[in-house]
Every structure is written in structure tokens, then in C-alpha cells.
Amino acid sequence: MYEIKVWAQMFFEDGSITQGIRINAEWLEDAYEWKIKEVVDMLLRSVNREEGWLLVWGAGNMVFQYYPSSTSSFCQASESE
């Protein structure tokens, strides 16, 4: 089976970015939201960041959304308030 891939990359307030990666296009569906969160956490860890903007582009879609890391102390503090 042929899998359609899309481009995912994180952007940050200071203008820096992560290395881009290709992910399965089906992960953009609601049922795979947990996969997108895994991708976000991996990209944030790769540059030692706790939050950023995810751009996913391809297969007729473009998504740009803010994400905090689900494993960061910043995110845990926000959830407890």
C-alpha cells in the first residue's frame, strides 16, 4: 500500500526552526491526534524546547498550530492551575 506523506516542522518565536520530517498524512485525522502529539514532543526534545508552532503541509492540507510539550514542566504547571 502506498502511504501519502506530509511535511512537519516546528517554528519558534526567536525565528529558529527544527529539522523537518515527513509523517503519514492520515495522522492529520482526529483519530490520530495522539500521533501528532508524539511528533510534537519528539521535535521539541530535538531542540530542547518546551513550546512552539507546528507546521504540517502536504496532501492538500496546511495546518499551523501552537503546541506546548506534553512532557514539559511548563505544561504540567499550566494544567495544575
Query: Any idea what DSSP says for residue 19?
Result: P
For the sheet with 21-24, list strands across it.
21-24, 5-11, 51-58, 61-68
In this predicted structure, the answer to whether residue 75 has a pLDDT above a threshold of 50 is no
Each domain of the chain, given as residue ranges in start order, spans: 5-80
| Segment 46-74, tens digit of pLDDT | 999 999 999 999 988 899 999 987 754 44
